[in-house]
Amino acid sequence: MEPRAGVSKQDIREQIWDYMESRNLADFPRPVHHRIPNFKAFKMARTIKVNPDAPQKNARFFVLDSKKTLLVPTPRLRTGLFNKITPPPGATKDILRKCATSQGVRNYSTPVGLDSMVLVDLVVVGSVAVSEKGWRIGKGEGYADLEYAMMVSMGAVSQGTPVVTIVHDCQVVDIPETLLEDHDLTVDYILTPTRVVTTGCARPKPAGIVWSKISCEMMGKIPVLRSLRCREEQAGKDVTLRDKHRSLPGARAALSTVRSPRELPSLESGSVPGEDVPSSTVYVGNLPRDARVSELKRALSARGAAPSRLTWQGPQRGAFLHYWDPAEAWQAISRLQGFCLGANTARVALARQQGASGPAGGRAGEPHPDP
């Protein structure tokens, strides 16, 4: 099956999805549009890291059945990067098959932290389309590319780590090289129901996270990405985000402190006046009862997270940190991971907008702690 001339990545995706639907080549879930297509004849892949999509369920089962360590990225990276799947002792094949499902991944997994020093020997990814040269097109959300880049950043993979994709024969098509970007992941092997293709792809794989491709919105959705950004920034790398807004020279005011008025609602009621851009405000809670605002300022400056303005909530053991834009707010959250003041580990979260019908009769447009 050959794609039309002058096509885009989305054109190729739609062509593959339409073809598989019209010929009933895909198993559940249906329809295949906007999914990695599943099919009935998987070949066994000796692997360690396998993506969490339904089409790779059999690949995950084969890994467990061969007593390999199975790492599965968390769906959409919401709660971390990896989960290690650990079947119960004496697990039968039926139980292993359950462990390989999305429900099993939730029930039999433990998180793998960034400091775990894990090494991935083989990477299995899904694809919508792939060429014999090793060029790959996914669903269009970029998670496989980002997962790999994050693994590079944490030292889990290298350029020599083989990457495999498992597809139906109809998904192997010609892909114009002009569609590829530097952050796109290529594959070394293609497994189909009828053959194994060694691509011999010489195109370099992503060398790490391209921060200029990352949006503030994505940073907000993926906590582990914020942690990696903080590490790379401390290592002196350029971590400027795609939609980072730069302040005009001289526009920053000196750091000021706004002490909460006597009538300020408590932390439980959740509101605080004085800011109408909640995504640029960070809440820091669980501070020591005897903490002083000057002490907090010094600690924030030492972490490189000094805000443009600070709203102090001493009696409620917290403070609101106001930054110039969302990118600065997320940068501060990354830098304040594990932040301690005195003997207390602080709670750090983005403040949310309180609606007109918010708690305790708060006014519309007021930020409050994100629960």
Whole-number pLDDT of residue 280: 83
Average pLDDT over every residue of 292-315: 89
3-state SS, the chain, equals: CCCCCCCCHHHHHHHHHHHHHHCCCCCCCCCCCCCCCCCCCCCCCCCCEECCCHHHHHHHHHHHHCCCCEEEECHHHCCCCEEEECCCCCCCHHHHHHHCCHHHHHHCEEEECCCCCCCCCCEEECCCEECCCCCEECCCCCHHHHHHHHHHHCCCCCCCCCEEEECCHHHECCCCHHHCCCCCCCCCEEECCCCEEECCCCCCCCCCCCHHHCCHHHHHHCHHHHHHHHHHHHCCCCCCCCCCCCCCCCCCCCCEEEECCCCCCCCCCCCCCCCCCHHHEEEEECCCCCCCHHHHHHHHHHCCCCCCEEEEEHHHCEEEEECCCHHHHHHHHHHCCCCEECCEECEEEECEEECCCCHHHCCCCEEECCC
For the cut 50, the answer to whether the pLDDT of residue 247 exceeds it is no
- In percent, the amount of the chain with pLDDT more than 70 equals 71
Cα separation, 16 vs 21, whole angstroms: 9
Q: Which residues pair with 71 in a beta bridge?
A: 49, 84
Average pLDDT over every residue of 182-197: 86
pLDDT (tens digit per residue) in 197-244: 889 998 889 889 989 888 887 887 787 888 888 888 888 888 888 866
Are the C-beta atoms of residues 47 and 124 closer than 8 Å to each other?
yes
Whole-number pLDDT of residue 172: 93
Whole-number pLDDT of residue 193: 81
Which amino acid type is present at position 186?
T
Phi and psi at 181, nearest 5°, equal -120, 165
Burial pattern 241-258, b for ≥16 Cβ within 10 A else e, equals beebeeeeeeeeeeeeeb
Whole-number pLDDT of residue 285: 93
pLDDT band, residue 98 (cuts 50/70/90): very high
Average pLDDT over every residue of 37-52: 54
Whole-number pLDDT of residue 49: 92
- The residue written with tokens 């002009």 in the block is 178
Closest CA to 331 of 239, 260, 246: 239
**CA-based end-to-end distance of the chain:** 51
Q: Which residues pair with 70 in a beta bridge?
A: 85
Whole-number pLDDT of residue 173: 92
For the cut 80, the answer to whether the pLDDT of residue 278 exceeds it is no
Omega cis (within 30) before 31 = yes
pLDDT band, residue 366 (cuts 50/70/90): very low
Closest CA to 57 of 122, 12, 124, 138: 124
For the cut 60, the answer to whether the pLDDT of residue 11 exceeds it is yes
Q: What is the mean pLDDT of the chain?
A: 75
For the cut 50, the answer to whether the pLDDT of residue 119 exceeds it is yes
Provide the token pair at 194.
């009828």
- The residue written with tokens 């019908």 in the block is 357
Are the C-beta atoms of residues 166 and 59 closer than 8 Å to each other?
yes
Cα separation, 233 vs 212, whole angstroms: 13
Average pLDDT over every residue of 246-275: 36
Omega cis (within 30) before 265 = no
For the cut 70, the answer to whether the pLDDT of residue 271 exceeds it is no
pTM, full prediction: 0.58
Are the C-beta atoms of residues 83 and 105 closer than 8 Å to each other?
yes
